[in-house]
Amino acid sequence: TWQGYAEGEYVRVAPIDGGLIETIEVKRGDRVKSGDLLFRLETASEEAALESAKANLTEAKATLRETELEYQRKLALRKQRNVAQAEVDTAQARRDRAGAATLAAASALTQAKWRLARREGHAPADAVVQDVMFREGESAAPNQPVVSLLPPRNIKVRFFVPEAELARISEGDKVHLTCSGCTAGLTGTIRFVSTEAEFTPPVIYSDQSKEKLVYMAEATPDERPEELHPGQPVTVSLAAPPAE
């Protein structure tokens, strides 16, 4: 058996743009689903820009409809030789300009929606909220973490193997994971074995091991990773001899 500890790779959710934090929707210990709203920055200017973009698109569409009707009317009159071709060409040019303006207005609306969406932070995966770094009313800088999450899939066990036993393990091997409070029968898979030796880390010092060189290895739980808590001591043992 080898001694180790659980470790979590945290996901720190930050706003792309900085600003005043209007609402925080979570607290420590909350369980969130992928896509859940975590926080929202002040959005007054972005919402105003969005409404303006919507109005501009509505106006552009109305102008396009009018110019299309006028073009069709001129085209019909031209077939009856009641107007000159120049009038038809002029009506067509107006219709084409209105079409281009409508496309530009639609693009501006998409940009306005995108800018508004940047004011919110959402959970990228199912996770547990580990920390909330700000309060409502405080200001966050661009890319400054506001909420820290720990997805269960990001939990792993880091353990240390003496040099003499290193040949016993390899990536892909199954291991038993034992810890206080964990369900019996918890297993994992070795995902990484370091090639660099190090002295036994202080977190697992003992009188017998503190001077030994060891190799760090990592295993991920096969199921129920949420039973492991970062920093928790874990005992690791091979579930079966490595395949030859």
**Under CATH, what is the fold of the domain 44-117?**
Helix Hairpins (1.10.287)
48 token code pair: 């105003």
- According to DSSP, the β-strands at 155-162 and 127-132 are unpaired
Read off the pLDDT of residues 29-44 as tens digits, 9 standing for 90 and up: 999 999 999 999 999 9
The CATH architecture assigned to 11-40+119-150 reads Beta Barrel (2.40)
What's the pLDDT tens digit per position in 144-170? 999 999 999 999 999 999 988 999 999
Question: Could you tell me if residue 50 is left (phi over 0), alpha (psi between -120 and 50 degrees) or otherwise beta?
Answer: alpha
Question: How high is the pLDDT of residue 205?
Answer: 47
Question: Residue ranges per domain, the chain?
Answer: 2-8+153-238, 11-40+119-150, 44-117
pLDDT at 81: 84
* Pair 95, 72: CB distance under 8 Å: no
Residue 202 has pLDDT above 80, yes or no: no
- CATH of span 2-8+153-238: 2.40.30.170
